Amino acid sequence: MTRLASYLPILDWGRSYTRHTATDDLIAALIVTIMLIPQSLAYALLAGLPPEVGLYASILPLVAYALFGTSRALAVGPVAVVSLMTASAVGELAAQGTPEYLGAAIVLALLSGAMLIAMGLFRLGFLANLLSHPVISGFITASGLIIAAGQLKHILGLGGSGNTLVEILAGLASELGNVNPYALAIGVPVTAFLFWVRSGLKPALIRAGLRPRLADIIAKSGPVAAVAATTLAAHVFSLGDKGVKLVGHIPAGLPTPALPSLDPHLWSQLLVPALLISVIGFVESVSVAQTLAAKKRQRIVPDQELIGLGAANIASGLSGGYPVTGGFARSVVNFDAGAATPAAGAFTAVGIALATLFLTPLIADLPQATLAATIIVAVLSLVDLKALRRVWAYSRSDFAAMATTIAATLVLGVETGVTVGVGVSLALHLYRSARPHMAIVGIVPGTEHFRNVNRHKVITGDTVLTLRVDESLFFANSRFLEDRLTELVAERPKLRHVVLMCTAVNEIDASALESLEEISRRLEAAGVGFHLSEVKGPVMDRLQRTDFLTHLNGKVFLTQYEALAALDPRTTHIAEARQPRKATRADFWIGPEI
């Protein structure tokens, strides 16, 4: 049962489910349902799909995640970035509005779900680490700008198109003379209203005397109020006859399971987009889940999260939906509303199902400009251009990865953008690893500690050189270590011993082992001993399985102090004779590297 519960977390939290917990989950579900209905419609349109598909993607996926997911607050469903990636991937294969387009989106959900489950079963969640935070932040920022720009056509009543920011803005500029004043009269006020609701309505209601929780519920209902008001206005004033695009007829009823297209060529064309959507969706989802879990001292299991999200995507595909993941905004709302277990998601699914059955005839006259305003307000909260300045101040290489991702996404599109970002991140990581930080260290007077000679006032001798390498040794940096040691030894004619301090070396691969053997031979030929100090246990275990230690031109010391005491006792005595004193700022050099 314990093993089964690891794959079905509901068997764990379900045993302690109480009436009080159910009440908390029901209240949270009500609030999230109110928020999710207009969002689901809007994100489906963003993905180029009929609006009811957004509702379909918000029913069974929530139930599947409740069964297999480990987060108690994550709310799964359509999100802006995944919707944009879906439109980008499927738009290259079929025209919007055609059965082939919907079929490709369904296949994309199934492929994404299968990949996520496979990654979870094989414990491959670490692959998401290939996407560094600057790359993810840059990608989401650029995607938010593209999404917001792409929705301006609905606000202006135009028919612009394009997958990149350049294409979208060029299309809008070419049609500015055809702006529909009625669409503009709806889109601009609704956008302003939703921005005010997001930041100003709750404080205003609290000042008016409402309790914070009730004020929060009313504030979260702002998009629903906008939908109701603009739908009524469109019906009363016949705005559809005046060129305002409406949602139109939405079929009432629950989705019916159906077999997807079995065309192998289609599936092969969607493999790469499905992988990108899977990884991006998982990273976004697990980041939110971990943040919310930490607030209640709970924990999530990333590999099981892969299975939970995979099951949600397969459920979405089988019920006529498209790729889904955990959404930031709705998860925070779910958490703040008091969701205690994943059952809140299942209750939300029931609410969406009821809306699909009974409310769809009421929103046929809903202007698309209202949904566009909903999307714009939601995605602009994800845009963080200030992060560029923060990352620039902290790390130039991370800034390069982030800026490159933003530029590539805006100019070349979402799939190319994230691919370029991952490539730049890996290239910079390899560059940094291939040129690790190395420091000559000396003993701090009156102590047994060793520090960088360029940062601290330390004592060193002429006959012993201690080099600290702040990186594991592997094929990419082993030659750099050889060259650096050769250079340092050539500069010191009195040198008799070299000690490689291995405090930061967690691994030595076969290539690095050969380099160490070559260094030992060269130094022995030059009459210089080659020693190691502070080698970690797992590294020593591997070294002992080879003949390296037998042929080593020197010894392996437990500590660096022991090495210096054995190889240069005069310097050790000088350091011991000097009394330690309180460090001052002058003892340290503050630079860009540690």
| 246 pLDDT higher than 70 | yes
437 phi/psi in degrees, rounded to 5? -70, 125
Residue percentage of the chain with pLDDT more than 70: 96
Q: Which pLDDT band holds residue 68 (cuts at 50, 70, 90)?
A: very high
Listing DSSP states for 473-486 in one string gives B-TTTHHHHHHHHH
- Write the pLDDT tens digit of every residue in 379-413: 888 788 888 999 999 988 889 889 999 999 999 88
> Other C-beta atoms within 10 Å of 4: how many?
9
72, 342 contact by CB (below 8 A): yes
Stretch among 150-159, 361-370, 378-387 having the lowest mean pLDDT: 378-387
Cα 116 to Cα 267, 284, 309, 335: the distances in Å are: 16, 14, 7, 24
Per-residue pLDDT, averaged over 449-454, amounts to 93
Provide the greatest CA pair distance for the chain.
Answer: 96
Per-residue pLDDT, averaged over 35-54, amounts to 89
CA–CA dist 65, 72 (Å, integer)? 10
Per-residue pLDDT, averaged over 339-351, amounts to 91
Positive or negative CA dihedral for 209, 212, 214, 218? positive
- Write the pLDDT tens digit of every residue in 100-129: 999 999 999 999 999 999 999 998 877 766
CA–CA dist 421, 427 (Å, integer)? 10
Q: Which pLDDT band holds residue 300 (cuts at 50, 70, 90)?
A: confident
What 8-state DSSP symbol labels residue 499? E
> Other C-beta atoms within 10 Å of 493: how many?
7
Look at residue 392 in the predicted model and tell me its pLDDT.
93
Residue type, 233: A
Can you say whether residue 77 is alpha, beta or left, with left for phi > 0 and alpha for psi between -120 and 50 degrees? Answer: left
Residues 6+ apart with CB under 8 A from 296: 72
User: Average model confidence (pLDDT) for the chain?
Assistant: 88
| Bridge partners, 468 (sequence order) | 439, 501
Q: Which pLDDT band holds residue 311 (cuts at 50, 70, 90)?
A: very high
Residues in the chain: 594
What is the CA angle 561-567-569, rounded to 5? 75
CA–CA dist 216, 210 (Å, integer)? 10
Cα 383 to Cα 19, 386, 562: the distances in Å are: 40, 9, 54
CA–CA dist 571, 450 (Å, integer)? 13
Per-residue pLDDT, averaged over 184-193, amounts to 93
Look at residue 590 in the predicted model and tell me its pLDDT.
42
Global confidence as pTM: 0.78
Q: Which pLDDT band holds residue 236 (cuts at 50, 70, 90)?
A: very high
> Would you call 122 exposed, middle or buried from its count of C-beta atoms within 10 A (0-12, 13-18, 19+)?
exposed
Per-residue pLDDT, averaged over 542-554, amounts to 94
Rg of the chain taking only CA atoms, in angstroms: 30
Which of these, 323, 330, 322, lies nearest to 288 by C-alpha position?
330
